[in-house]
Amino acid sequence: MKTDAKGQGQRIKGQSMPPQEAWGNKHASLPIYALRPKPYAARRAYILFELVLALGIFAIAVLGLAKSLNQALETANLLKRDQIIRIGMRNFLEEIRRKPLTDMSTSMMDTTYGVTYTSVTEPVTLRTTSGTNLTDIYNLTIKATSSFNEVPEEATLSVYVYKPAQR
């Protein structure tokens, strides 16, 4: 009997009168609780919204981490390339320093890394505190030229070398 009363929109004992009936709307056939959304449906929609929001935040965080990782890898590659060029210049310097003065101005290509090493010697005039000139001292300049990502790069190393004249 109670289900019958609910279906017909009549009041049950202890239930307040719906606003439509209180204002004199006699055509309101549905009780007010039938017009409200079910509480479990509202909870399900809220959980779905939380899930979509959490997935969005997670996706943004993953993209940020991926971008940071990519930047770190690019930086590591640049540092590795600089290290290769420095080691190549040091090796080229040691090879050139041991050669006679006439063979010191030369060029060499490292085909593995695409770096060209060029050396140039210039005589240097140095004066001591007593006013005498030092002879047989040369400025050895090594220039490493390379291209990375179509951007030309250049590094220079300059040292003084003592090469006594052959008499």
Query: Predicted confidence band at 55 (pLDDT cuts at 50, 70, 90)?
Result: very high
pLDDT of residue 134: 87
pTM (whole model) above 0.85: no
Q: For the sheet containing 137-148, what is the strand order? A: 107-110, 115-123, 137-148, 151-162
- Residue 147, pLDDT score: 85
Q: How far apart are CA 146 and CA 72, in angstroms?
A: 22
Mean predicted confidence (pLDDT) in 61-65 = 97
- 89 neighbors 144 (Cβ within 8 angstroms): yes
Stronger pLDDT, 144 or 18, i.e. the higher one: 144
- SS in 3 state form for the chain? CHHHHHHHCCCCCCCCCCHHHHCCCCCCCCCHHHHCCCHHHHHHHHHHHHHHHHHHHHHHHHHHHHHHHHHHHHHHHHHHHHHHHHHHHHHHHHHHHCCCHHHCCCEEEECCCCEEEEEEEEECCEECCCCCEECCEEEEEEEEEEEECCEEEEEEEEEEEECCCCC
Q: Which residue in 123, 66, 116, 122 sits closest to 92, CA to CA?
A: 116
Mean local confidence (pLDDT), 52-73: 97
Kindly state the tokens that stand for 25.
Answer: 């709307």
* pLDDT tens digit sequence for 116-164: 999 999 999 889 899 898 888 999 999 999 987 788 889 999 999 988 8
Give the per-residue pLDDT at 48.
Answer: 87
Is residue 155 within 8 A of residue 144, CB to CB? The reply is yes
